[in-house]
Chain A
Amino acid sequence: MNFKLIKVLFVGAALIVSASLYATEVTVFAAASLTDSLKEIAAAYQKESGDKIIFNFAASSTLARQIEEGGPADIFFSADEAQMNRLEKKGLIDPATRKSRLGNSLVVVVPGDSTLQIKSASDLTNAGIQQIALADPRAVPAGVYAKGWLTRQQLWPAVEPKVVPTENVRAALAAVASGNVELGVVYKTDAAISKNVKVAYEVPRADAPDISYPMALVKGSPQPEAAKKFLDYLSSEEAGQVFTRFGFLLRE
């Protein structure tokens, strides 16, 4: 390679690195079910504020674990209160900034071309249904909620052997969309973004545990000022409109 080219490349790389040092980056660890809505909100926010929002989407239980291990998060946006409580107990979030922002509900989804009819929760125990995709019911919020719902209906022991636990709720949705399982239980908001699944049954909100999405500033956040600003923006009306459009319920 000729020397001039190396020089150009080097200067170019240095410019890119220095430019990225000046832009403020806010890192948000958020539940997988928030993927689409938060991306849209962040795109609008970035235009307005100039701050860059970086996401790490995964199961809230995975994210809480990553934050415990020192993951570089500014904001944690969980799909259940349990994971947030876990971090609050360990003093890893700022309780003053904690806020339960969103609500959601559960639906039973089937592949788009499926002829399965689900009239009630007890239909999940039908012999024709062999595999049911759920976010891992031992830890991942969507699965924990689904297990809570089925436990209240006294159906969990019958359903449990059919469960295919997935890493997060979106993986359960994907398993249904691919047609590799007969059905899955996901959030209503997830079902709405996939063209390859249809809702076979809407779980009445009274039958299932209360689904609540809290958010908070992470202690030791590298960018507390900018993070606080984005957290406020998430509470704003503009952000609320986007969440509503994706099917979330607003709480505070």
Chain B
Amino acid sequence: MTAEEWQIVWFTAWVSALSTVIILPFGLALAWVLARRDWPGKSIVETFVTLPLVMPPVATGLILLKLFGRRGALGGFLHDQLHLDVIFTWRAVLLALSVMSMPLLVRAARVAFEEVNPRLEQIARTLGAGGLRVFFTVTLPLAARGVIGGMLLAFARALGEFGATIMVAGNIPGKTSTLSLAIFENVQLGDDPRAFRLLGVSVILAFTAVWCSEFFLRRKKP
């Protein structure tokens, strides 16, 4: 493994972890609302949340590219007002990974919240706890296994993201090159040994993340 290869590994792991942390507050809020509230049109929201999981990643990438490009609605604003470019920078990698891994976190956390007995929350309320306090002292601790499992799944998904990333971030060595992009590129260039080394690392990383998430998501034996 060369220094350049390690850089790719660290960048991938770091940006995947960061995306998991960033989506956590949004993902948990969304999961809680879906688990505990009912409103007309809820199924539409549910479908939208799941969409990045089933749509072609490249299609999701195209939407992000159009939104965050310098001529896009959001990208144009960021470029003109804040002199911040997203496309073809590491921020684009972060964006793609966050969007693509969000559904996994939301789905796992939602199931975890649904499994928490609402009676326990009600009891906490009758004892005088406010909504937020109930969430942080009762709901979240009881759902912790599912939430952590979901985070690990989201992290694992982010590690392997390819389609959306290549659309919005390109494959710039040392800047936006992630494990999957680098593997693809090295196969294209004919550098199989290097591709295999990176393949080995991604297998180890993915195996560890999924194995840990299985541990957390497995139901406790009665």
Contact = CB atoms under 8 A, between A and B. Distances in A.
B173 A180 contact: no
Interface string B178-201: 000000010111100000000000
A57 to B, nearest CB: 15
A65 interface: yes
A189 interface: no
A179 B173 contact: no
Interface in B157-177: 170-173
B183 to A, nearest CB: 14
A217 to B, nearest CB: 22
Given A131-B88, A165-B170, 15 more contacts: A61-B188, A61-B189, A62-B188, A65-B189, A65-B190, A136-B185, A139-B188, A139-B189, A164-B172, A167-B171, A178-B70, A179-B71, A180-B65, A180-B70, A180-B87
B71 A178 contact: yes
Contact of B69 (A138, A139, A180): A180
Contacts of A138: 189
Contacts of B187: 65
A68 to B, nearest CB: 7
A139 B171 CA distance: 14
B88 A164 contact: yes
A62 B173 CA distance: 18
Nearest to A163: B172
A179 B71 CA distance: 7
A90 B92 CA distance: 40
Interface of B: 65, 69-71, 85, 87-88, 170-173, 185, 187-190
A interface: dominant SS: loop
Contacts of B185: 136
Given A179-B70, A180-B69, A181-B88, A165 B171 contact: yes
Interface of A: 59, 61-62, 65, 68, 130-131, 136, 138-139, 163-167, 175, 178-181
A143 to B, nearest CB: 12
A68 B171 CA distance: 24
B16 to A, nearest CB: 22
B174 to A, nearest CB: 9
30 contacts: A59-B188, A61-B188, A61-B189, A62-B188, A65-B187, A65-B189, A68-B190, A130-B85, A131-B85, A131-B88, A138-B189, A139-B188, A165-B170, A165-B172, A165-B173, A166-B170, A167-B171, A175-B88, A175-B170, A178-B65, A178-B69, A178-B70, A179-B69, A179-B71, A180-B69, A180-B70, A180-B71, A180-B87, A180-B88, A181-B88
